[in-house]
Structure 1
Amino acid sequence: MSQEIKASARAPIAVLLLSLIIAAGGIFLTVFGARLVSLGGSFYFVLTGLALVATAGLLARRNALGLWLYVATFVATVIWSLFDAGLNFWPLVSRLAAPGVILMLVFLAAPTLTRGRTLPTSLALTGAGLSALALLAMGVRVFQPVPFITNDVTPEKIAEGGELNGNWPHYGGSLKGTRYTGKSSITPENVAQLELAWTFRHGHLPVHGHAAGAEDQNTPTVIDGIVYTCNTKSQLFALDADTGEQLWKFDPEAKAPFWERCRGVGYYESNGQPSPELQRVKREAAGFTTTATFTVSDDSAPATPAPVVPEGLCAKRVVLPTIDARIIQLDAKTGELCPQFGTNGQIDLKEHMGEVKPAFYMPTSAPTIADGIIIQGGWVVDNVTTNVPPGVIRGFDAETGELIWAWDLGRPETKRFPPEGESYTRGTPNAWAGLAVDQDLGYVYLPLGNATPDFFGGHRRPFDDEFNASVVALDYHTGEYKWHFRTMNHDIWDYDLPSQPALYDLPDGKGGVQKALVQLTKRGQIFVLDRETGRPIFDVEEKAVPQGAVEGDWTAATQPYSTGMPTIGAERLTEAKMWGATPFDALMCRIEFLSYDYEGDFTPPSEKGAIMWPGFAGGMNWGSASIQEETGYLVFTESRAAHVIKMVGREEADKADAKDSHAGLSSQFGTPWGAAKWYLMSPLGVPCQEPPFGTMTAIDLKTQQVAWQMPLGTVEHMGPLNIPTRLPIPIGMPGTGGAVTTQSGLVFYGGTMDKYIRAFDLKTGQEVWKHEVPVGIQATPSVYVSPKTGREYVVVTAGGTRTSQERGDYVMAFALPQ
């Protein structure tokens, strides 16, 4: 009897506590719901808030009307949710999970309500049980990785895949940039047996934070049983491919105040002679002529002395880019500097560039080397000032380091060096991403950025706008311009081309092939061009876009859309698509959304603040695409997070941190406006738009249709307020780095925000293997076969993700059991 009395006494306290919780939620929804209505938004939240306040008052007085009012409110919430979100799972979770928990608690409280007509205990417990079962079913479902687009058709073989002979000699696997490896012994049937073969730690932890900008994004280069990997300090390590044992290390003692990264290195096999192109250039400079085939036939011309190559030294060379804008050549076997190259093994990329402040120019992507020519672009600091280094593209002799050609788009008559006493044209669009090469055509393809700063273009010159966000084809022997295709008109959104082009011979259905170039963009648009002419293979249309810009700038009337290919992750935002883990942060996201300018794609940056979707981090980014060459499946990942861009006047912009060019307030010196930038996030630190926040997609290039699309990654090592949930919920998270496809039908990827490297079935997109790593991965894996053991490996670097403070120094290789 005593226990029953105590329980009876506790019941009103529990109901009072429940009513206080409901009242607090109701007040929140009423106050901020009214704010939403004032912005032209939904009435649901303010009406629901008032109903909750009334419910709380009735429950506090133990009035059964509180039960019925809440049940009616919940039913109305279900109806509104279905009308607002349809049958989409994650939007319904946001709208119904928290109200469902309250419904269960209200049913449990029903037997204690003494005023009015309440439910019998048995029915109340039944209602609570059904609510709990529904919540349990929802809870089980959140752990299921459900594809957004499914595929059960076996991909048709339409071509022969290329082979890499067990090596991974270039950043994109091959010069074509397809990130594909042929004759793989790791298959969908045995990949589950994949295990960690070895781990190497190089000893340097990248510094966390945007200002420091140190991020491990290295894809190892693998040649003849040696793995070459570089870290954010441009230190280079040679490792045994079977054991991970360090063979040698080279430290260039490079320094940069921010934006430290090394995505890869190049490789060159010496023949002891300068390239025919360098010989041609020298002969022409001396007044002699040569033929178009670059052969030397005039015996009266002064001979170019061949470099003296010490026996056994630098026959095979690793080409290292550094964060202080040098290119260094090292003996691939010993790690010693190659004295034949440049000055004691190195050249200074800052020559003829004018003033180059530390970290204002550097080659963040791997050098591209073809036919003895190093083709080098570079990253130029964004959003700090207009007076930045040139975006010139140059070709250097891989044997001697001497300049062969330069392509300066602001001064096209320049073929090699700028006029005496001058520099290449400063502030031109640059190529910071990887380059691709068609050796049959003799073309190199450049994905160009923009003339900085990114968010104001009133100062730009005609050639800046002509070439911004363009794919450019040059003759890589001479630097001669061939064609360009512009993916943006007057870009003031930082939609520069971030991805290495991928080259693929697509069967035309008539017994021939179309020489295609596939270019991913941050916008979610995928352009497929004829790589000989630059003309679109699949339809591109100019469409009208919103107009208006801050004083001194202008917007283009139209923008190009690749209508012949699917658009990924760029569906127009609406208030209904604003999301949160609960109705409360979803409400705040709706208020945020309606507080800024948004007219769809290309809403111009404004003083009020404009929503940019997709954000300037992508969409697709530097991870680039992979093409499974036998089937023509284009595989890539993309991130989904909107940005807000707010233009600020000169006086306020002058307070900006000149280093923080990708987040916060950027100075944009030399223009009337600075730019403040931030992600459109809920108060819990979750992207405001509904999930997924990242996907992996496969497009069948022969049909131009999405074959499958899967959510990418879980919140296991992430969560609200940046607190890891420890729950492997596959909601789909933003990713970096790229995917690798294999002839056997696998896709390897590691760039998720959780700490895993994964394998997916190329046919279905289903995950077939994963392995947890100590810290997150940003880099693209590479795949190789050991010449000593014949064992196939997947190797990846793990240094930590951008959003996590955890940092590491790992290089990890995986293989099937011996």
Structure 2
Amino acid sequence: MVTVITSVVFLLVGLALTGGGGWLIQLGGSWYYLLAGLGFIVTAFLLFRRQRSALLVYGLVILGTLAWALYEVGFDWWQLAPRGGVVILLGLWLLTPWVARGIGPRSVTDRAPDRIATGALAATVLIALAAAVYSMFLDPHRIEGRLSAEAVTPQPNLGNSVPDGEWHQYGRTNYGQRYSPLAQITPENVKKLDVAWTYRTGDIRGPDDVTETTYQVTPLKIGSTLYLCTPHNIAIALDATSGKEKWRYDPKVGLENQRQHQTCRGVSYYQDSAAAADAPCATRVYLPTSDARLIALDAANGQVCTGFAEGGSLNLLTNMPYKPAGYYYSTSPPTVSGNLIIVAGAVNDNFSIQSPSGVIRAFDINTGALVWNWDSGNPDRTTPVGPDETYTANSPNSWSVMSSDDALGLLYVPLGNQVPDQLGMNRSENVERFSSSIVALDIRTGQLRWVRQTVHHDLWDMDVPAQPVLIDLNTANGPVPALVGPTKQGDIYVLDRRTGEPIIPVTEEPAPGGTIPEDRASPTQPLSGLSFNPPKLTGASMWGVTMFDQLACRIQFHSLNYLGRYTPPSVKGTIVYPGNFGVFNWGSVAVDPVRQVMFGMPTYLAFTSRLVPRDEVPAPGGDEKGSEQGLNRNEGAPYGVYMGPLMSALGLPCQAPPWGYVTGVDLRTGKIAYKHKNGTVRDASPIPLPIELGVPGIGGPMITAGGVAFLGAAIDDYIRGYDVTTGDEIWRARLPAGGQATPMSYEQDGRQYVVIVAGGHGSVGTKAGDYVIAYSLPYGQ
């Protein structure tokens, strides 16, 4: 009976592989599955007939599978396992006594061939197991190396003046370096870090919140106080020593189901040098809200500063051409420069072409009066518009964080795309010029100084998502004021920030064509000499827990359009890789200006996009996200679009791991020193195993003068410390919720703290929470 059941199992496996394999061959994929399926069917037939030759045939299946797997992926355990797991397990089953008794020799003379068949199968199983075990000790994706510990610039330019123990802006200074000059925590003592205090905001994602309700804030530290905001825009001040609440202000933004994002990445701080230190609102916190307001608060007590704008609140929908509820808001903190506060805003992606403007506006920080406006749809006029005028509808916006160089008088703006992201027809000349670019504006007037486009005719939602990082870089031609610009497609642009010209060369490379009839594709796309652009996907890149879901992913891969990076969207469906989730996203990178090195977290996750003609777009109320997943309606456009990660039926990425890394770069040479997989599947799998697979993440790193970088971000609930020189993980702490926020560091009473907010991310599915956690070394360490 056992033999009969076994033969049925082999027959079913063979039929599944033969059927799926034949389908895959028709799509131009591998012949392996069909051939393996036939091998299973022959084995099943021989088992049913109780013939020992079944073991010899199956041994050939194992050897063929091993040879094919090594040819495709080499000794990569996570690639070998799905190819050979089922095959080897069934081979082991054939060697058990239960099966052997059913196909044993019928006479004494049959025993010699019986031993030969059994021995041959056992040998092939052992060879395959040996290859598997050997591959477990290798990491073919790891780049091993070291960054120099040399202090290249002992007295670096860190941006605006900030005491070493404080953190005044989102990236610490207006340079956005995410670099702390503190050195109390080192690779030698970081393992002693422990929780110093924990604070809970009380603002937790609820059942009626939009999907992308996320906690992404990086607190500020000024004097003895931390300032932060929550996803629903509650501003809070905490004591830096104890974490106790000093004050809170709730703007009561309310819920809005048309709001695409519900988050707050930070507040902005300003000290009025003309006011007495103890005067009301002498120091202020500016709070951007998801209902399109900018509110000025007294940093001392959280009271509204009524002298700013109208009663302390600036209406950011003023002069907008369209004002639907929930379509425009600020998720990132405004930039403060001199007596200006400069505000950008997020616009809902792919809801409708009747969208608000992406205008950048500078206001008098004391009165709220409009000083200048730069609208990429009308870039030459920066004088304030009149009360009856409107900005250009649906112009590219800047939803991330800006940087500034006050000495050069320049503001650096990362720009996104025009809605719809995947449709390029009928774009204006200005949209084509400014979409997906880094723009430098004159801080005082808003006039354009230069523009560097990172994608031409963007059809993939490749916004420039990250704050540009400023550093004075030592080059062969001497020190150069530089800008480091991370992008979603993985290119790192290293530019002269005075002119926008490349320091590390940028070339134009051929790009795929094949758009829908109404559109076009750029024949070339820029490629930076410093790039984390991954290798082109192939059928062999597809992955699964078993050979069956891997086969399904291969069929899916060959059923979609894919010619490499920048394959245009299609009605058939297109693979977008790197995906629009980004190799880099709003978390940006951290830069050590002393050592002139960069630490970052590249993520690799393929996405798909499928255009849907307008008359086929389902009625409202279905699977609509207007974000990275589901149906994006694009009201008013000829096509909607379905978007989402390239996933298997099991809900796992079809593309093989690793999906996430940490990396170190020498910015003087543009060379990648190391690249190590990062993160575990502990919180992303049914069984909470801390397997170091290298997982996706969203968030950013910070770096310290002590030589330690800190990062949460990964989809497991940890904050980690890394040796900046080697990239090795040297500390980790379990978080009570997802750590999709960028950490910061400060000093108080001679003690260095590291702070991260743990509140989770709705889109990536990490655990929600409301925690602010500070770590420090024990007293006396």
TM class, shorter-chain normalised?
over 0.9
Partner of 1:229: 228
Report % sequence identity. 38
Q: Distance in 2 between matches of 1:768 and 1:263?
A: 27
> Structure 1 residues 228-237 or 109-118, which shifts more?
109-118
Residues 43-62 of structure 1: matches in 2 within 5 Å?
43-62=31-50
Instruction: Establish whether residue 767 from structure 1 lines up as the match of residue 744 from structure 2.
Output: no
Q: Distance in 1 between matches of 2:342 and 2:147?
A: 41
How far residue 210 of structure 1 moved from its aligned partner, in angstroms, is: 9.4
Instruction: Establish whether residue 680 from structure 1 lines up as the match of residue 646 from structure 2.
Output: yes
Q: Distance in 1 between matches of 2:706 and 2:277?
A: 43
Name structure 1 gaps, 5 residues minimum: 1-11, 274-308
Partner of 1:184: 183
Partner of 1:382: 349
How far residue 426 of structure 1 moved from its aligned partner, in angstroms, is: 1.2
The answer as to whether partners of 1:219 and 1:263 remain within 8 angstroms in 2 is: yes
Partner of 1:297: none
Q: Distance in 1 between matches of 2:165 and 2:195?
A: 19
Residues 307-456 of structure 1: matches in 2 within 5 Å?
311-456=278-423
Structure-2 change in CA distance of 1:140 and 1:210 (3 Å): farther
How far residue 702 of structure 1 moved from its aligned partner, in angstroms, is: 1.3
Partner of 2:770: 809
Once the two structures are superposed, what CA deviation does each residue of 1:408-465 show, in whole Å capped at 9, x if it has no partner?
Answer: 2222343333245221111111111100111110101001001111011212111111
* TM-score, with structure 2 as normaliser: 0.93
Instruction: Establish whether residue 485 from structure 1 lines up as the match of residue 452 from structure 2.
Output: yes
Partner of 2:115: 119
Q: Distance in 2 between matches of 1:602 and 1:669?
A: 24
The answer as to whether partners of 2:743 and 2:754 remain within 8 angstroms in 1 is: yes
Match of 1:98 among 60, 75, 86: 86
Q: Distance in 2 between matches of 1:597 and 1:191?
A: 48
Structure-2 change in CA distance of 1:340 and 1:355 (3 Å): same
Match of 1:736 among 689, 698, 717: 698
Matched to 2:215, the amino acid is D
The answer as to whether partners of 2:280 and 2:298 remain within 8 angstroms in 1 is: yes
Partner of 2:708: 746
Partner of 1:88: 76
**Helix, strand or coil: the match of 2:609?**
strand
Residues 690-709 of structure 1: matches in 2 within 5 Å?
690-709=656-675
The answer as to whether partners of 1:328 and 1:345 remain within 8 angstroms in 2 is: yes
The answer as to whether partners of 2:334 and 2:343 remain within 8 angstroms in 1 is: yes
Structure-2 change in CA distance of 1:804 and 1:138 (3 Å): farther
Q: Distance in 2 between matches of 1:138 and 1:783?
A: 42
Q: Distance in 1 between matches of 2:4 and 2:166?
A: 69
Match of 2:18 among 30, 37, 47: 30
The answer as to whether partners of 1:146 and 1:710 remain within 8 angstroms in 2 is: no
Match of 1:155 among 135, 149, 156: 149
Structure-2 change in CA distance of 1:205 and 1:132 (3 Å): farther
Q: Distance in 2 between matches of 1:194 and 1:131?
A: 46
Structure-2 change in CA distance of 1:210 and 1:663 (3 Å): farther
How far residue 111 of structure 1 moved from its aligned partner, in angstroms, is: 3.9
**Helix, strand or coil: the match of 2:90?**
helix
Structure-2 change in CA distance of 1:476 and 1:42 (3 Å): same
Matched to 1:806, the amino acid is K
* TM-score, with structure 1 as normaliser: 0.89
Matched to 1:167, the amino acid is E
The answer as to whether partners of 2:377 and 2:430 remain within 8 angstroms in 1 is: yes
Q: Distance in 2 between matches of 1:778 and 1:42?
A: 39
Matched to 1:643, the amino acid is F
The answer as to whether partners of 2:711 and 2:719 remain within 8 angstroms in 1 is: yes
**Helix, strand or coil: the match of 1:55?**
helix
Q: Distance in 1 between matches of 2:734 and 2:223?
A: 28
The answer as to whether partners of 1:320 and 1:327 remain within 8 angstroms in 2 is: yes
How far residue 509 of structure 1 moved from its aligned partner, in angstroms, is: 3.5
Q: Distance in 1 between matches of 2:750 and 2:443?
A: 35
Q: Distance in 1 between matches of 2:647 and 2:208?
A: 18
Q: Distance in 2 between matches of 1:44 and 1:412?
A: 57
> Structure 1 residues 410-419 or 750-759, which shifts more?
410-419
Structure-2 change in CA distance of 1:310 and 1:518 (3 Å): closer
Residues 455-604 of structure 1: matches in 2 within 5 Å?
455-510=422-477, 512-562=478-528, 564-565=529-530, 567-604=531-568
Q: Distance in 2 between matches of 1:778 and 1:121?
A: 55
**Helix, strand or coil: the match of 1:634?**
strand
How far residue 246 of structure 1 moved from its aligned partner, in angstroms, is: 0.9
Once the two structures are superposed, what CA deviation does each residue of 1:686-710 show, in whole Å capped at 9, x if it has no partner?
Answer: 1111211111111111121111101
Q: Distance in 2 between matches of 1:26 and 1:221?
A: 61
> Structure 1 residues 157-166 or 49-58, which shifts more?
157-166
**Helix, strand or coil: the match of 2:213?**
coil
Structure-2 change in CA distance of 1:266 and 1:41 (3 Å): same
**Helix, strand or coil: the match of 2:197?**
strand
Once the two structures are superposed, what CA deviation does each residue of 1:648-667 show, in whole Å capped at 9, x if it has no partner?
Answer: 11112262556533321211
Partner of 1:642: 606
**Helix, strand or coil: the match of 1:736?**
coil
The answer as to whether partners of 2:539 and 2:554 remain within 8 angstroms in 1 is: yes
> Structure 1 residues 444-453 or 211-220, which shifts more?
211-220
**Helix, strand or coil: the match of 1:676?**
strand
Matched to 2:65, the amino acid is T
Once the two structures are superposed, what CA deviation does each residue of 1:363-391 show, in whole Å capped at 9, x if it has no partner?
Answer: 11111111121111110111111111111
> Structure 1 residues 469-478 or 125-134, which shifts more?
125-134
The answer as to whether partners of 1:104 and 1:132 remain within 8 angstroms in 2 is: no
How far residue 108 of structure 1 moved from its aligned partner, in angstroms, is: 2.4
Once the two structures are superposed, what CA deviation does each residue of 1:706-733 show, in whole Å capped at 9, x if it has no partner?
Answer: 11101111111113xxx3x311111111
Q: Distance in 2 between matches of 1:158 and 1:332?
A: 38
Once the two structures are superposed, what CA deviation does each residue of 1:552-583 show, in whole Å capped at 9, x if it has no partner?
Answer: 22211211111x21x21421111111111211
Q: Distance in 2 between matches of 1:764 and 1:647?
A: 44
Partner of 1:627: 591
The answer as to whether partners of 1:146 and 1:711 remain within 8 angstroms in 2 is: no
Partner of 1:301: none
Matched to 1:687, the amino acid is P
The answer as to whether partners of 2:210 and 2:262 remain within 8 angstroms in 1 is: no
Q: Distance in 1 between matches of 2:29 and 2:724?
A: 43
Instruction: Establish whether residue 261 from structure 1 lines up as the match of residue 225 from structure 2.
Output: no
Structure-2 change in CA distance of 1:89 and 1:128 (3 Å): closer
The answer as to whether partners of 1:111 and 1:121 remain within 8 angstroms in 2 is: no
The answer as to whether partners of 2:322 and 2:393 remain within 8 angstroms in 1 is: no
Q: Distance in 2 between matches of 1:125 and 1:82?
A: 19
The answer as to whether partners of 1:656 and 1:665 remain within 8 angstroms in 2 is: no
Name structure 2 gaps, 5 residues minimum: none
Once the two structures are superposed, what CA deviation does each residue of 1:383-412 show, in whole Å capped at 9, x if it has no partner?
Answer: 111111111101111122211111122223
How far residue 677 of structure 1 moved from its aligned partner, in angstroms, is: 1.1
Matched to 1:69, the amino acid is V
Once the two structures are superposed, what CA deviation does each residue of 1:151-180 show, in whole Å capped at 9, x if it has no partner?
Answer: 146433211344752111111121111111
Q: Distance in 1 between matches of 2:70 and 2:151?
A: 42
Partner of 1:651: 615
The answer as to whether partners of 2:56 and 2:117 remain within 8 angstroms in 1 is: no
The answer as to whether partners of 1:578 and 1:586 remain within 8 angstroms in 2 is: yes
The answer as to whether partners of 1:431 and 1:449 remain within 8 angstroms in 2 is: yes
How far residue 86 of structure 1 moved from its aligned partner, in angstroms, is: 2.4
Q: Distance in 1 between matches of 2:21 and 2:469?
A: 48
The answer as to whether partners of 2:715 and 2:766 remain within 8 angstroms in 1 is: no
The answer as to whether partners of 1:104 and 1:127 remain within 8 angstroms in 2 is: no
The answer as to whether partners of 1:575 and 1:593 remain within 8 angstroms in 2 is: yes
**Helix, strand or coil: the match of 1:119?**
helix
> Structure 1 residues 497-506 or 627-636, which shifts more?
627-636
The answer as to whether partners of 2:66 and 2:128 remain within 8 angstroms in 1 is: no
